[in-house]
Amino acid sequence: MLTFTDNAREMVRSFMDQHDGALQALRITLKNGSPLAPSFELSLVELEEGSPEEMAVDLGDFTVLVEKESAHRLEGATVDFVERLNESGFEIRPAEGKSLDAVEPPSGPVADKIQEVLDQQVNPAVASHGGRIDLVDVKGTEVFIEMSGGCQGCAMSRMTLRQGVERMIRQTVPEVTEIHDVTDHDSGDNPYFTG
């Protein structure tokens, strides 16, 4: 599942030694809730702190605890400890040809209903402005969407989301409690204010 470089193993053992062997596991957790551009947090814990939602991977000299839900993102990844000019720390690199933020398309009854609303109502409306809105993930009753094309970076994107997209989704799928926009609007171009 995971590969640790010699340098990373040495650093994990060094940090464990500082705690007199009391901490025997390295927990890797998804730091932010965004399905896009995830970051991972590494922390030393006692092995007994593992939960049923985590899988334990025995690497010989220590155990890695990973949330079962995010384990697929780490499949084949390499953990390294890097030291650069102004920073040092653990770095997780995906397996060749993979991405840590590769997300399976959402599925299930709620996701299917939302996708239908996006395909039949939302995207035909925003297409006239060169935009598109995609369903990125569904976690319980929370929905994560991403805007692209003319919607990414648009000054009206917040209004489009709140008064248009949310209203259409909530009318068809009332069980939705929150809709999160995970778009990187800073890297988009504002189609209405270009010079």
**Residue pLDDT, tens place only, 4-43:** 899 999 998 888 888 887 788 888 887 654 444 456 788 8
Tell me whether domains 2-93 and 109-187 share a fold. Answer: no
CATH entry, 2-93, from 1.20.120.140, 2.60.300.12, 3.40.50.620, 3.40.47.10: 2.60.300.12
Q: Please provide the DSSP assignment of 41-79 as one string.
A: EEEEE-GGG--TTEEEEE-SSSEEEEEGGGGGGGTTEEE
What is the rounded distance in angstroms from the CA atom of residue 111 to the CA atom of residue 139? 9
pLDDT score of 192 more than 50: no
In the prediction, which pLDDT does 137 show?
85
Indicate the fold that domain 109-187 takes in CATH.
GMP Synthetase; Chain A, domain 3 (3.30.300)
pLDDT score of 153 more than 70: no
In the prediction, which pLDDT does 182 show?
77
- Hey, CA dihedral for 50, 29, 94, 135, is it positive or negative? positive
In the prediction, which pLDDT does 59 show?
86
In degrees rounded to 5, what are phi and psi of residue 23?
A: -110, 115
Condensed to tens digits (0 to 9), the pLDDT of residues 154-177 reads 556 666 667 678 888 888 899 989
Question: Alpha-carbon Rg of the chain, whole angstroms?
Answer: 21
User: What are the sequence ranges of the domains in the chain?
Assistant: 2-93, 109-187
